[in-house]
Amino acid sequence: MNADNRHLESKKIIVLGGDGFCGWPTSLHLSNVGHEVIIIDNLSRRNIDNELEAESLTPIQPMGTRLKVWKEISGKEIKFYNTDIALEYDHFLKIINDEKPDVIVHFAEQRSAPYSMKSSKNKRYTINNNMNATHNVLCAMVESGLDIHLVHLGTMGVYGYGTAGMKIPEGYLDIEVETEAGERVKQQILYPTNPGSVYHMTKSQDQLLFQYYNKNDRLRITDLHQGIVWGTNTKETRQDERLINRFDYDGDYGTVLNRFLMQAAVGHPITVHGTGGQTRAFIHIQDTVRCVQLAIENSPSYEDKVMIFNQMTETHRVRDLAMLVSELTGGEIAYVSNPRNEAPENDLHVRNDLFLSKGLEPITLDEGLLQEVTNVARKYAHRADHSKIPATSTWTKDQLPGVPKEK
Give contact residues for ligand USQ (rule: CB under 6 A).
111-113, 155-157, 227-228, 255-256, 259, 271-273, 276, 278, 280-281, 318, 338, 340, 342, 391
Please identify, using beta-carbon distances, which residue of 10 and 275 lies nearer to ligand USQ: 275
User: Catalytic: 199?
Assistant: yes
Please identify, using beta-carbon distances, which residue of 8 and 308 lies nearer to ligand NAD: 308
Task: Count the site residues for ligand NAD by CB under 6 A.
Answer: 26
Contact partners, residue 305, CB within 8 Å, separation at least 6: 172, 211, 214
Please identify, using beta-carbon distances, which residue of 263 and 311 lies nearer to ligand NAD: 311
User: Catalytic: 155?
Assistant: yes
Distance of closest approach, residue 48 Cβ to ligand NAD, in angstroms: 8
Residue of the chain from 13, 14, 19, 67 that contacts ligand NAD (CB under 6 A): 19
Applying CB under 6 A, the span of 40-48, 68-76, 116-124, 375-383 interacting with ligand NAD comes to 40-48
Q: Are 256 and 342 contacting, i.e. CB atoms less than 8 angstroms apart? A: no
Asked if 36 interacts with ligand NAD (CB under 6 A), we say: no
Q: Are 17 and 111 contacting, i.e. CB atoms less than 8 angstroms apart? A: no
Residue of the chain from 15, 23, 257, 329 that contacts ligand NAD (CB under 6 A): 23
Select from 130, 122, 200 the least CA-distant residue to 160: 200
Residue 26 contact partner, candidates ligand USQ, ligand NAD, none, CB within 5 to 8 A by sort of partner: none
Applying CB under 6 A, the span of 93-101, 224-232, 319-327, 338-346 interacting with ligand NAD comes to 224-232
Distance of closest approach, residue 125 Cβ to ligand NAD, in angstroms: 10
Distance of closest approach, residue 368 Cβ to ligand NAD, in angstroms: 15
Contact partners, residue 59, CB within 8 Å, separation at least 6: 241, 244, 380, 383
User: Catalytic: 79?
Assistant: no
Residue 340 contact partner, candidates ligand USQ, ligand NAD, none, CB within 5 to 8 A by sort of partner: ligand USQ
Residue 287 contact partner, candidates ligand USQ, ligand NAD, none, CB within 5 to 8 A by sort of partner: none
Asked if 234 interacts with ligand NAD (CB under 6 A), we say: no
Residue 306 contact partner, candidates ligand NAD, ligand USQ, none, CB within 5 to 8 A by sort of partner: none
Q: Give the binding site for ligand NAD (CB under 6 A).
A: 17, 19-23, 41-45, 84-86, 107-109, 111, 129, 133, 153, 155, 226, 228-229, 255
Which residues participate in catalysis according to the annotation? 155, 199, 203
